[in-house]
Structure 1
Amino acid sequence: MKKLLLGTVAASVHLLFAVGAMAASAPKPATQNRAEISGQYKWDFSPIYGSWAEWDAAMTSIEAKMDAFAARKGTLKNGPAAVLSTYQAFDEIGMLQYKVYRYPQLQRDVETRNQEVAGKFQRVGAVFAKFGTATAWFTPELLKIPQATMEQWIRDTPALAPYKFTILDNYRQQAHVLDEQGEKLLSFATRFGQTPTATFQELSTSDIKFPKVTLSDGKEITLSPGTYQGVLQTNYVQADRAKAFDAFLGTYAATSNTYAAIYNGVMQKGWFTAQARNFPTVLEAALDDHAVPMDVVKTLVDTVRAGTAPLQRYAKLRKKLLGLDKYHLYDGSIPIYKTTATYPYDDAKETVLQSMAPLGADYMAKYKKFLSGKQIDVYENDGKRSGAYVGGVYGVGPYMLLNHNDTQNALFTLAHEGGHAMHTILSYEKQPYVTSSYTIFVAEVASTTNERFLLNKLLETTKDPKERFLLLQHAVDSIVGTFYTQVLFADFELQAHKLVEQGKPVTAAVLNGIYLDLLKTYYGDAVTIDDAYKYTWSRIPHFFNSPYYVYQYATCFASSAKLFKDMTTGAPASRTAATARYLELLGSGGNDHPMAQLQKAGVDLSKRETVQAVVDQMQELVTQMELEAAKIR
């Protein structure tokens, strides 16, 4: 059965590094007071509900539907009609779940300090946990029906066809489904299991006090996440970047023991669930949901660990061109060549839209319509969560959160999140509800493919060596951020979870040691590793919100590289066919296992060469950067 909605359908905290910029108008507002930001740049929640009264009514309705669903217990054996009506009843609840969940969740994310909204969001979690308990009977009861009988019922009942994949996937996972009492017991732990993540959210957003620093120009700034990134991306005084780094990381270091306890709680929850469902490791439990082979992660980590030479070569090139005696990780975001140009949001929208022309008129029309609506929250404001994501609302569409700051990174973030938005739009359009939600494993394919199209368009329209260098730098930084960094994160998760699985201590000191060793492994002697960087793990939301998520950035990056190449090279007929396969992937939602979906689109992640191709691409891009740098005077 389709799982409860307890997180975003497609979410990504954008971690890529900024590079250059371009001239435009209408810069971001100077204020961070949400009330003073124009309404055209803020979310309109009315398509979901017009008021909290409507939301309250929907909450009452969903609870009634949940009670009615629970009353169906014992009916599945009555035949295909009973199975069909039960799935249809679950669909009704699921579609309503999207709306009652998103309405408070989205409002909380743009004003995390609003405790009234936070309380309403907690109420949603309580209701969903109740439903988990009320439906604990379903899968064990379904699996009492022999698979051959169920397959015959599906063949004889056309209305069951949309549910075929979901139903039969239950049988694939049968060894990890408990009896009714076991499933009910696990459901009781749902709300408790959400506590570590909720605690991290409050500590890292609502309660955190970001430091103030005075830079070399005498200006005092508060180092919010967006402002901190702005310093790293735009301030050419290395001492200022160092000061910002020390102060910002120091904020997390000051409470690192608390973060370690929270993260231990997150991992203990995962290990509890894995053991309860008879999985030997948390990773295997995480991968089994979508039938992803263990070798995919192992091949990814092993290939990248063996392929760090281009990463280190790039760091050394940056050090040379920036003229630095020592090169630090906080030097990794500053453009090597200065530019006074910017990427204001309104111009960025048009640039991104035009870059997607190769995907066809229908894609362009749908994308333009989305960009013109009020389901994008554009600018940073006090109390707003950091990063960027897209969250779907079935029956309404995607909502996109940004923290646009006019940098080139912000432009590419818009393209990235736009890929998620279009993936959601096409999945909702092409799929029935039961298979409308795509998996995390394919989510980042659409986003990184959009970034490739944007980069390609920008490279086509400039001949200036400096501008070309900056674009190539962005391409390389994308590989650093979306591929190498995410695999380093996955490597960290594997080692941290292993400690829990072996019953070993998990403390801030232990986690610091793991992270510091990984930095040295991946960067070698190309970078001066500052000791404070060992606290970086404490500020990575994915570790706390969605364990074993980040490796999929890298697999998706490898997938998008292959898909983009197929759509842009070779004979016209082959490019057209590849584009059609790609659009079919976007519209396929969750109608198959993600590995199978990607294979239909032309990507096989079980092959080492698929991952190695990104390492090779990195090497080629660094070579091109060296050539362009030689032309710049």
Structure 2
Amino acid sequence: MQFFEHKESASRPTTRIRDEIDDRFKWRVEDIYEDWSAWEKDLQSVRGLMDEFVAYKGKLNEGPEVLVKTHQLSDRIGMTAYKLYRFPQLQFDVDQRNNAIQSRLQQVQNLFAEYGTRTAWFTPELLSLGSEKVMGWVASTPELKVYEFPIAETFRAQEHVLDEAGEQLLSFGSRFRSTPGDVYRALSTADVKYNTITLANGEETTVSPGTYRNLLETNRNQDDRRKAFEAMYTIFDDKKNTFASIYNAICQRDWMSAQSRNYSGTAEAALDSDNVPVSVLETLIETAREGAEPLRRYHKLRKKFLKLDKYYLYDSFVPLVEKDEEYPYDNVSEMIVEAMAPLGSEYQEKLAESLEGGWIDVYENDGKRSGAYSAGVYGVHPYMLLNYTDTLNDVFTLVHELGHTLHTVYSHEHQPFATSSYTIFVAEVASTTNEALLLDYLKARRHEPLDRAILLQHAISEIVGTFYSQALFADYELKAHRLVESGAPITAEVLSNLYDEVQNSFYGDAVDQDPLYKLTWARIPHFFNSPFYVYQYATCFASSAQIIKGLLNEDPTEREATRARYLELLSSGGNNHPMEQLKKAGVDLNDAGTVRAVVDQLNTLVDELEAALEALNA
């Protein structure tokens, strides 16, 4: 099956000036709005819809017809909100120095914060009608059936909903919830001046986030890696007290919100929205920490093979073995689509469409935010941000984000708006499943010992980065929030010592200590933007590992059944609790064995890598 026409490969741009990068490597925001005047028109129209919704205050008891109208109005407002927010947000993310676009973004945020305050009455008024009456209306009113799960969820969380006055009071603070994260992004990205270093070959380079990662992954000179590490981390060291103050504000905000809604802790509050017990988080952390020996074996193997007297974490990214091979963006599309064959031709066709142009912002440019993500826009298409540098890791990052993108495509196609948003808890299953399929595809086609070692190394790196590192981060994050819950002070020293303690509990004596690594807490954006997010990378990795077993099973019946269950998961959006959705897909995260299996998998892979390296040496 042919998905792409042949086209000439283009090299990665050498410029960081956005206007000089070919438009086909940039996302097309015009698919959302043609221009700012169209955006302004929708901004005005949504104000009218908001007024119309607010006018129903005190009328919910009039019957199911009113409930239908309010929910349909909420859908229209929500769908418009996606577009109103994404249009400036996407443009701001590719140039975070643009104050004019930032002000438009804040305009939208303020509007919906005001709307949240004006509609604080809705949930308390709905709850006052009683579950029996409202769910009876849902059962007897066809137009309400699409809202059955979200309405039932409102009643499930009833004990954590305040009265109208309380909800309104909390809503006044909604516009400030994002402020600590906004300050962090400005301090760490928009206002940062990256350091310049001189490499061993005499070349000067500015250590931006993309360049930093590339240096650690490609530069075989340990002193150059040390310079890059110090150049990046001294940025955070110089402002560590400010970063600590920001993080304290985030933890205090989360604790205030948890207490005001009658939760016993911040983790309980964060996980309850998905109906996930905190024991799942705690079991993950404990199992990963207790199963850290394969992780330590891997790093000791690296130190020995690299012949390093001292081995630091900044040495953990450089390949043990490598080929002089780059992966230009234009060259990897067909390979990626072919690798997804176990998911069926329909999935492959949708994937090919997402790669054709307009959905993805590929390369780094001045002012662009670091990292990668996929962001949905209901009724349009998802958008993906990359900072692609032609490495194998970049290929896997692309595949990872494509997993999110296809999850969004399936969800938006099969779910009404009310249940179209899937939870973070299942989101990373789609991304890590894609990565696993690409890895299997490459392993099946590369049989030389060198290629085998390269792919084993990547497979191990994925477990280390997606499972162990995220469990470590989750451990730190949980402990930091519980410090705040206990009334303990939060300072740069406290956070650095806490991170150091957690890191040592995972790595032990397998790595040498550099004092700057204590500051890692300050450079993990998820800590500041999405508390209690990172653990889900690890649980999702365990989930996808189980799904992959079925997709690659020798029995064609089992393969087909797994694929059907998996595509149903992608199409389910937010129509049920994520733990239940995963059970339907064949994964039970209540079973600690699901998590321990990843530890066993790493142990086996380290054995295989050690044997492969010995064969190469021989």
How far the C-alpha of 1:25 sits from its partner, in A, is 5.1
Structure 1 residues not aligned, in runs of 5+? 1-23
| Amino acid paired to 1:556 | C
Partner of 1:549: 533
Moved more, 25-34 or 433-442: 25-34
Matched, 1:428 2:403: no
Moved more, 610-619 or 55-64: 55-64
| Amino acid paired to 1:67 | D
Partner of 2:491: 507
In the alignment, the residues of structure 2 paired with residue 104 and residue 272 of structure 1 have an alpha-carbon distance, to the nearest angstrom, of 30
How far the C-alpha of 1:192 sits from its partner, in A, is 1.7
- Aligned counterpart in structure 1 of residue 68 of structure 2, from 76, 80, 84: 84
> Does the CA-based 8 Å contact 2:322-2:450 persist in structure 1?
no
Partner of 1:416: 400
How far the C-alpha of 1:336 sits from its partner, in A, is 0.7
Deviation string 1:338-377 (CA, Å, 9 cap, x unpaired) is 3211010011222111100111011111111111131100
Partner of 1:599: 583
TM-score by length of 1: 0.95
- 3-state SS of the aligned residue for 1:46? helix
> Does the CA-based 8 Å contact 2:322-2:454 persist in structure 1?
no
| Amino acid paired to 1:232 | L
In the alignment, the residues of structure 1 paired with residue 304 and residue 45 of structure 2 have an alpha-carbon distance, to the nearest angstrom, of 64
Partner of 2:222: 238
In the alignment, the residues of structure 1 paired with residue 564 and residue 478 of structure 2 have an alpha-carbon distance, to the nearest angstrom, of 37
Alignment of 1:79-228 (within 5 A): 79-228=63-212
- Aligned counterpart in structure 2 of residue 369 of structure 1, from 341, 353, 358: 353
In the alignment, the residues of structure 1 paired with residue 225 and residue 9 of structure 2 have an alpha-carbon distance, to the nearest angstrom, of 27
Deviation string 1:200-244 (CA, Å, 9 cap, x unpaired) is 111011111110111111111110000011110000000110111
How far the C-alpha of 1:570 sits from its partner, in A, is 4.2
> Does the CA-based 8 Å contact 1:304-1:484 persist in structure 2?
yes
How far the C-alpha of 1:193 sits from its partner, in A, is 1.9
How far the C-alpha of 1:401 sits from its partner, in A, is 0.3
How far the C-alpha of 1:572 sits from its partner, in A, is 1.1
Alignment of 1:206-355 (within 5 A): 206-355=190-339
| Amino acid paired to 1:308 | A
| Amino acid paired to 1:379 | Y
How far the C-alpha of 1:148 sits from its partner, in A, is 1.4
| Amino acid paired to 2:206 | T
Matched, 1:581 2:581: no
- Aligned counterpart in structure 1 of residue 47 of structure 2, from 63, 66, 74: 63
Matched, 1:622 2:606: yes
Q: CA RMSD in A?
A: 0.9
> Does the CA-based 8 Å contact 1:415-1:451 persist in structure 2?
yes
Matched, 1:459 2:439: no
In the alignment, the residues of structure 1 paired with residue 198 and residue 9 of structure 2 have an alpha-carbon distance, to the nearest angstrom, of 29
> Does the CA-based 8 Å contact 1:352-1:414 persist in structure 2?
no
Alignment of 1:508-523 (within 5 A): 508-523=492-507
- 3-state SS of the aligned residue for 2:13? coil
In the alignment, the residues of structure 1 paired with residue 19 and residue 11 of structure 2 have an alpha-carbon distance, to the nearest angstrom, of 18
Number of residue pairs matched?
610
> Does the CA-based 8 Å contact 1:519-1:529 persist in structure 2?
no
How far the C-alpha of 1:145 sits from its partner, in A, is 1.4
Partner of 1:356: 340
| Amino acid paired to 1:517 | E
- Aligned counterpart in structure 2 of residue 36 of structure 1, from 20, 25, 36: 20
Partner of 2:5: none
- 3-state SS of the aligned residue for 1:248? helix
Partner of 2:542: 558
Structure with higher RCO (Cα < 8 A, 6+ apart): 1
How far the C-alpha of 1:27 sits from its partner, in A, is 2.6
| Amino acid paired to 2:192 | I
In the alignment, the residues of structure 1 paired with residue 145 and residue 292 of structure 2 have an alpha-carbon distance, to the nearest angstrom, of 47
> Does the CA-based 8 Å contact 1:492-1:515 persist in structure 2?
yes
TM-score by length of 2: 0.98
Structure 2 residues not aligned, in runs of 5+? 1-7
- 3-state SS of the aligned residue for 1:599? helix
- 3-state SS of the aligned residue for 1:221? strand
| Amino acid paired to 2:529 | N
In the alignment, the residues of structure 2 paired with residue 328 and residue 630 of structure 1 have an alpha-carbon distance, to the nearest angstrom, of 23
Identity of aligned residues (%): 53
| Amino acid paired to 1:272 | M
Partner of 2:479: 495
